[in-house]
Every structure is written in structure tokens, then in C-alpha cells.
Amino acid sequence: DTEVTQTPKHLVMGMTNKKSLKCEQHMGHRAMYWYKQKAKKPPELMFVYSYEKLSINESVPSRFSPECPNSSLLNLHLHALQPEDSALYLCASSDPDRGFETQYFGPGTRLLVL
């Protein structure tokens, strides 16, 4: 099973709302990622968790707060977002014991900030 699941599929939120995105994988991967993707652009790395510890934060604004409760779950907490944060948010996972190599992506959450 090479599936990464993400919920919700779509999310509309106001600039004062607090919401969370959820990602789950059962491949035994110990690295998980959050990406942001704008239309017709490549995915842009936001955060990397390796063995449940935050290993990379690509200078993401604090209104995005990641959390890795266990090796299968990854959350992204959203607060006071701006309209320019509207994008497709992708989760991915990989196996650091194999040099991280292949990243498996979920279908994404389409976020619209009003």
C-alpha cells in the first residue's frame, strides 16, 4: 500500500478561522512532508519531519503550525491565514532508512482563504 491520505479534500476558511489539515500514511515511512503548490507551479517545500522530529522549516510564517503526533500522522494547523495562502497543500512521505529517496504524495487539500 503506497497511499497517503489527506483530509479534508477542500477547505474554505476566513482569515480569522482556525483549521487543521490532516495527513496519514501506513507505509512505515519515518519522514513526512508538507508542501504548498500554487497553480502551474512546482510543489514548494514547507516542513519536513524525520523520525517525528521537525528537521526542516523552510522559513514558513508562524500562521502555519505543523505537528507530528506519531509516525503515521501529520497535521498542519492553520490560523489567521491570508488570501495569498490559498493553494493546494500536499503531504508526502518517504523512508529515511533508504536515503529518503521516493516521496509518495497524497492528493492534497485545496484551500481557499477568503
* Contact residues: another protein, CB under 8 A: 4, 31, 33, 40-43, 45, 48, 50, 55-56, 90, 92, 94, 96, 99-108, 110
Instruction: Give the shortest CB-14-to-another protein separation in angstroms.
Output: 24
> Which residues lie closer than 8 Å to 62 by C-beta, 6 or more apart?
none
Nearer to another protein, 77 or 97 (CB): 97
In the complex, the smallest distance separating the C-beta of residue 64 from another protein, rounded to whole angstroms, is: 18
Q: Which residue has the cell 482563504?
A: 113
Nearest distance, CB of residue 81 and another protein, angstroms: 21
**Residue 10 CA to its chain's centroid (Å):** 14
Return the number of the residue (13 or 56) whose C-beta is nearest another protein: 56
Instruction: Determine the Cα–Cα distance for residues 78 and 13; give it in Å rounded to an integer.
Output: 10
Alpha-carbon distance of 5 to 102, in angstroms, equals 17
